[in-house]
Amino acid sequence: MTLQQARGTVYGVVLNDAISRERIGSLDDAPYKGAPKAPVLYIKPANTRATAGAAIALPEGASSVEVGATIGLVIAQPAARVAPESALSHVGALVLAADLSLPHASYYRPAIREKCFDQSLVLGAPQPLCDMAALALETSIDGQSVERFALSELLRGPAQLLSEVSSWMTLCPGDVLLVGVRYQAPQARAGQHIRIDAGALGALQFEIKQGGQA
Amino acid sequence: MTLQQARGTVYGVVLNDAISRERIGSLDDAPYKGAPKAPVLYIKPANTRATAGAAIALPEGASSVEVGATIGLVIAQPAARVAPESALSHVGALVLAADLSLPHASYYRPAIREKCFDQSLVLGAPQPLCDMAALALETSIDGQSVERFALSELLRGPAQLLSEVSSWMTLCPGDVLLVGVRYQAPQARAGQHIRIDAGALGALQFEIKQGGQA
């Protein structure tokens, strides 16, 4: 069974780097009344999984998708209430991922439609663990570099993030925890080709195509 | 494999009945600026699944949980872009469910922690399909009736809801779509016993217990 066929749940987190926090601006006013104290999570269920090289159909009514380059921690051992020091021992592999979203300005409503449409998570092949803080994700659209995301920028590093999430939710083998995506990630339209380069973790490529009636 | 061991995703919807809409009050002001036009969905991943008779541990720091009685549609055939008229032919069974949440006042941030803690979805045994509009869910805490939810009150009925969700997300066999829970459902504390009676669908019972370090 490949990672794309697995039925585990994929969890992601927003606003986990300083540039994203800067882009969203002040969170001091209503309704947020302050920066988030805990990881701001979302879920990418099984229907979102797509493979490298896929041609991703835009959902009906959409003209573009945001492309959030990130790294996923593939859980190999059940993780519940784990300390940051031992958190990564529950991780069996890393995976380069493109987390696609419909552009949306706020998190006022749970963004399930925006984040969970079919094929909205492109996953590369699992790779051995490496020093994630040394990785940088370079996103290019049609050959033009449009975003660079160094994992050293993460506000909560992978081990800390996994520890905090596991404090109230058990992660199971096959689940994947994405370590963070940029707020307002670059947008791609139908016909465009996306490539994410991740140094030691290789590269991930896919295309966006026009959606249609099934 | 029982339904509780299945790895499919469970989807739920809030604000799908008139009493819930009334309880949340006006949504005309910022940040909502109007009633939701599409189903307001949330996800209950595999770690939330619990069985009838379970003693559900409160998450650390919580003193009570909201008990949302509802019915789940258990998907038997892949459902993508299905019409309301044929939507229920993709459903293999119904399941009586108690959807537990930490009390939270707003949906301003994605309520993953509040909705996805371990054991926060108690599922009964799958039952044959029946006329859902004739069902009413009666929730009792320690023998006292605290909420009644007639499925005839649903703003989007099960077939309509499944059709709308499947218009952008493929539901797979083993997935479950919960048809709606009350906003501000009754709260239960550690030591209390909950029973949900659903007429033709039988009853579901469980307990709440104090959480602790794992």
Q: Please, what are the domains in chain A?
A: 10-25+33-209 (3.90.850.10)
pLDDT of residue B62: 84
Of B103 and A164, which is predicted with more confidence?
A164
> DSSP readout, A45-112?
-GGGEEETT-EEEPPTT-SEEEEEEEEEEEE-S-BSS--HHHHGGGEEEEEEEEEEE---S--SS--H
pLDDT of residue B3: 55
pLDDT of residue B25: 76
- Cα–Cα distance for residue pair A62/A68, rounded to 1 Å: 17
Across the interface, do A109 and B107 touch by the CB < 8 Å criterion?
yes
Which of B13, B109, B120, B163 is the best substitution to test chain A (most A C-beta atoms within 10 A)?
B109
Which helix (DSSP H) or strand (DSSP E) does residue B23 occupy?
helix B18-24
pLDDT of residue A31: 55
Of B19 and B109, which is predicted with more confidence?
B19
What 3-state class would DSSP assign to A141? Answer: strand
Average pLDDT value for residue range B139-143: 95
- Tens-level pLDDT at each residue, chain A (214 residues): 455 545 688 888 888 888 888 887 766 665 555 666 677 788 888 888 898 988 888 888 888 888 888 989 999 999 999 999 999 999 999 888 989 988 865 544 566 777 788 888 999 988 999 999 999 999 999 999 999 999 999 888 999 999 998 988 899 888 899 999 888 899 999 999 999 999 988 999 999 998 864 4
Q: Residue A171 has what DSSP assignment?
A: B
pLDDT of residue B33: 58
- Partners of B172 on chain A (C-beta within 8 Å) are 46-47
The band of B61, judged by pLDDT with boundaries at 50, 70 and 90, is: confident
A93 and chain B: CB distance < 8 Å anywhere?
no
What 3-state class would DSSP assign to A178? Answer: strand
- Does the global pTM surpass 0.90? no
pLDDT of residue A110: 60
* The pLDDT of residue B139 is above 90: yes
- The answer to which of B4-8, B20-24, B125-129 has the lowest mean pLDDT is B4-8
Give percent above pLDDT 70 in chain B: 86
The band of B136, judged by pLDDT with boundaries at 50, 70 and 90, is: very high
Q: How many CA atoms lie within 13 A of B69 on its CB side?
A: 27
- Cα–Cα distance for residue pair A52/B204, rounded to 1 Å: 44
Across the interface, do A9 and B8 touch by the CB < 8 Å criterion?
no
How many helices (H) and strands (E) chain A has is answered by 4, 13
Cβ-based neighbours of B151, under 8 Å, separated by 6 or more? B71, B132, B133, B134, B135, B136, B137, B158, B179
Average pLDDT value for residue range B113-134: 88
Average pLDDT value for residue range B13-26: 80
Q: Please return the burial class of A148, using the count of CB atoms within 10 Å of its CB with bins 0-12, 13-18 and 19+.
A: middle
Average pLDDT value for residue range B100-118: 72
- Cα–Cα distance for residue pair A22/A69, rounded to 1 Å: 18
The band of B6, judged by pLDDT with boundaries at 50, 70 and 90, is: low
pLDDT of residue B138: 94
- Cα–Cα distance for residue pair A64/A192, rounded to 1 Å: 10
pLDDT of residue B8: 80
CA distance B150 to chain A (A): 25
Which of B37, B40, B112, B167 is the best substitution to test chain A (most A C-beta atoms within 10 A)?
B112
- Partners of A30 on chain B (C-beta within 8 Å) are 30-31
